[in-house]
Amino acid sequence: MKNAHTRRQILRNGGLLGLLATIGSAIAPRLALAEWNKPAFDGKTLPETYKVLGADGAKESSDVQLIASDIAENGAVVPVQAVSKIPNTTQISFLVEKNPNMLAALFDITPDMVPDVTTRIKMGQTSNVIVLVKADGKFYTATKEIKVTLGGCGG
């Protein structure tokens, strides 16, 4: 009788562990797959980066908004937001003119997504930040200077 009781406990505990493993895999975060556009992230100048992205001839547009503070206290984490009001937006990128590598972030936008992206970028010094939006195969921009200071005291 003792073996039967032990066997039942093992089966019961095994079933419970299986149930927990199933629930855990269902709520675990999923791995996001992304393509790496290495040549674009290696761009050192604005014309070079635009060329790799296919954005030659990008035009300033009031339908693209760059939302960020005028002064960043810590250049290692500068919060920025881009909003595109242009229909059929398929890509939003952030570029920092005075960074060694200009392209700071690139997001592909699907038709199911709202073209509104918020992220944090790294800035080595005060610089223009450019939002580059691709919509219907054309490129549009918005630019804002963000001052990077120690302690946020201006400068």
Do residues 7 and 82 share a domain? no
Closest CA to 39 of 137, 106, 127, 122: 106
Residue 154 falls inside a structural domain = no
Do residues 65 and 135 share a domain? yes
Sign of the torsion formed by the C-alpha atoms of 152, 77, 48 and 140 = negative
Better-scored residue on pLDDT, 126 or 28: 126
Write out the two tokens for 93. 């990128």
Q: Is the pLDDT of residue 135 over 60?
A: yes
Question: Could you tell me which residues come within 8 angstroms of residue 111 by beta carbon, excluding any fewer than 6 positions away?
Answer: 88
Total number of domains constituting the chain: 2
Do residues 16 and 43 share a domain? no
pLDDT of 63-106, one tens digit each?
999 999 999 989 999 999 999 999 999 999 999 999 999 999 99
Do residues 78 and 132 share a domain? yes
Residue 122 falls inside a structural domain = yes
Residue 153 falls inside a structural domain = no
Residue 137 falls inside a structural domain = yes
Q: Which domain holds residue 118?
A: 38-148
pTM (two decimals): 0.74
* Residue range 128-135: mean pLDDT, rounded: 97
Better-scored residue on pLDDT, 28 or 44: 44
Residue 43 falls inside a structural domain = yes
pLDDT of 11-42, one tens digit each?
566 565 565 555 555 554 544 455 667 878 88
Do residues 124 and 48 share a domain? yes
Per-residue buried b or exposed e for 33-66, using 16+ beta carbons within 10 Å of the residue's own CB = eeeeeeebeebeebeebbebbebeebeebeebbb
Residue 72 falls inside a structural domain = yes
Residue 92 falls inside a structural domain = yes
Give the model's pLDDT for residue 30: 47
Write out the two tokens for 119. 């992220």
Give the model's pLDDT for residue 99: 94
